[in-house]
Amino acid sequence: MRATLAADAIAVEERWCARNYKPLPVVISRAKGVWLWDADGHKYLDMMSAYSAVNTGHGHPRILKALTEQAERVAVVSRAFHTDRLGPFLAKLCQVTGLDGACPMNTGAEAVETAIKAARRWAYTVKGVPADRAEIIVAEGNFHGRTTTIVGFSSEPEYRDGFGPFAPGFTLVPYGDAAAIEKAITPNTAAVLLEPIQGEAGIVVPPAGYLQAVREICDKHNVKLILDEIQAGMGRTGKWFAFQHEGIRPDGLCLGKALGGGVMPVSAFVGTHELIASFKPGNHGSTFGGNPLAAAVGLEAIRVIEEEGLVQRSAELGGHLMDRLRAIGSPLVRQVRGKGLWVGVDIDPGLATARAVCEELMRRGVLSKETHETVIRLAPPLVISREELDWAIDRLEDTLAAMHPGRRDHDRSALTQEQA
């Protein structure tokens, strides 16, 4: 009977759920720390972290405690009233980002939409851009969310197909090319919106000095620099935020995912006083954004990352991860790129698909997910130990060896009792 549990769950989901995802054929029923268990009791190491939403690990006891204690007091009262939780949460968020104020929201896409609105309001009320003429420069390969405004400036045909007409006011330039940004700037340019590392595009790291150059260009032309760190932020790259690798300060920052401690959606647009002050009562809001439950969880998530040294852990283990992956030397691997515990393994499509590699990894007890058919994303919870990380890398090495003819599979699939 147990053998049918996963199949039954998948069948029910596929009957009732929109087919807007293509998940791996595994049914997760519980999780703890860096480990996941399926409906049939099989155990897997999580190398995905729900697209970086689970930086603090699954079911962190401090975050669950903050969640349950706050839920017992008051969970939602909307922004119609003040609460005793929102102020401390946003004060701590501004402290770690180095920015002046924040607008709390729920999802990453909402944080980006908030950033777009803030940039446009600033352009009209402060910079003097004529009404309805504000422009925002974005990068090819971007992924900032799924709303119609956001997919409208995507360069990925699949994200746009069938969803137009799209909002005007966005200019696409090549990613990693600062000169292209400067060339695209006009008197109506309000902001440049970028991912400091492109996640959905395949963990694409721009050339060194790129963000510094963009910061200088924005300052020169009175244009705001807004960074989307919804996946890259909160310690994922070995710094609190990826922009810190180049020692700059953005004007605005989009955050989400890990801000919710792996238990609920929490996001925010954080910015300089100029950008945050562009909002006035009534022109932007959210029923659930900044609710006391979200604020309590968000504050505790920040504290856990800070007090448990997860940023430093990401830096140290990230270096180890990159070294080991680059030493594998498989013909299937074209490139390994990333920062901290956020790495993309680029698979040669002439030899294998990234999906096939992920499915084989699943059979060996490691869960990840491909992007753009060629890249395997490796992003474990930041609480992972070196031993657990090595176990996952061993499984990947075995998988690559097994999938390429003529290479012997050194099968290390059995967990030791200590690792289990």
What confidence tens digit (pLDDT) does each residue in 30-74 have? 999 999 999 999 999 999 999 999 999 999 999 999 999 999 999
Interatomic CA distance for residues 295 and 285, integer angstroms:
16
Per the annotation, the verdict on 346 as an active-site residue is no
Q: Measured between alpha carbons, how far is residue 139 from residues 175, 247, 289 in Å?
A: 5, 21, 28
Per the annotation, the verdict on 257 as an active-site residue is yes
Give residue 184's identity as a one-letter amino acid code.
A
Q: What is the pLDDT of residue 404?
A: 82
Tens of pLDDT along the chain (420 residues) come to 345 788 899 999 999 999 999 999 999 999 999 999 999 999 999 999 999 999 999 999 999 999 999 999 999 998 999 999 999 999 999 999 999 999 999 999 999 999 999 999 999 999 999 999 999 999 999 999 999 999 999 999 999 999 999 999 999 999 999 999 999 999 999 999 999 999 999 999 999 999 999 999 999 999 999 999 999 999 999 999 999 999 999 999 999 999 999 999 999 999 999 999 999 999 999 999 999 999 999 999 999 999 999 999 999 999 999 999 999 989 999 999 999 999 999 999 999 999 999 999 999 999 999 998 999 999 999 999 999 999 999 999 999 999 985 444 444 444 433 343
Interatomic CA distance for residues 203 and 193, integer angstroms:
17
- Give the closest residue to 66 by CA, choosing from 314, 233, 264, 255: 264
Domains of the chain, CATH where assigned: 2-56+310-403 (3.90.1150.10), 61-307 (3.40.640.10)
Active-site option among 143, 170, 243, 269: 143
The DSSP 8-state label assigned to residue 244 in this structure reads G
Per the annotation, the verdict on 46 as an active-site residue is no
Active-site option among 38, 46, 177, 228: 228
Length of the chain: 420
Do 50 and 257 contact (CB within 8 A), yes or no? yes
Interatomic CA distance for residues 219 and 105, integer angstroms:
28
Q: What is the dihedral of CA 131, 132, 138, 141, to 10 degrees?
A: 170
The DSSP 8-state label assigned to residue 408 in this structure reads -
Q: What is the pLDDT of residue 29?
A: 96
Interatomic CA distance for residues 216 and 240, integer angstroms:
22
366-379 burial code (b ≥16 CB/10 A, e <16): bbbbbbeebbbbbb
Cβ count within 10 A of residue 55 = 30
Crossing angle for the helix pair 292-307 and 61-73, nearest 10 degrees?
A: 160
The DSSP 8-state label assigned to residue 43 in this structure reads E
Active-site option among 224, 239, 257, 369: 257
Compute the C-alpha angle 186/223/221, nearest 5°: 65
